[in-house]
Structure 1
Amino acid sequence: MTGYQILRGVQHYVGKIRTMRNEIRTQRFMNGLPADIRKDIGWPDMYANGRHIDQ
């Protein structure tokens, strides 16, 4: 493995961690909204079994 391949692997891993943290942060924010607002925007109906429908 070259140094470049190692760097790309680390960048990929860090990107995945960043995405997971952003999703968790968004879920916490959305769950903190009042129930009537969550219902108006369709939260959590957009999610089935904890995963987004588009996945």
Structure 2
Amino acid sequence: MNGFTILRSVQHYVGRIRTVRNDLRTQRFLNTLPADIRKDIGWPDLYTGRVREN
């Protein structure tokens, strides 16, 4: 492996981590919205059992 291949692999890995973190941040934000707004935008159709109520 040369330096460019290693750098490309690291950049790909960091990009995937960034994507996962952004997805989690978005899910947390949407879960904090009031229930009627979440219903209007169609959230959490995929996550009905995973929503935590405080």
- Percent identity over paired residues: 74
User: Corresponding residue for 1:32?
Assistant: 32
For normalisation by structure 2, the TM-score amounts to: 0.83
- Give the structure, 1 or 2, with the largest relative contact order (CA under 8 Å, sep 6 or more): 2
CA RMSD of aligned residues (A): 1.0
Secondary structure in 2 aligned to 1:18?
A: helix
How many Å separate the matches in 1 of 2:37 and 2:30? 9
Deviations 1:18-49 (A, max 9, x none): 0000000000000000000000000011x36x
Q: Which runs of 5+ in 1 are unaligned?
A: 49-55
Moved over 2 A (4+): none
Higher strand proportion: 1
Q: Which runs of 5+ in 2 are unaligned?
A: 48-54
Q: Is 1:3 aligned to 2:6, yes or no?
A: no
Letter in 2 for 1:11: Q
State the structure with more CA Rg.
2
For normalisation by structure 1, the TM-score amounts to: 0.82
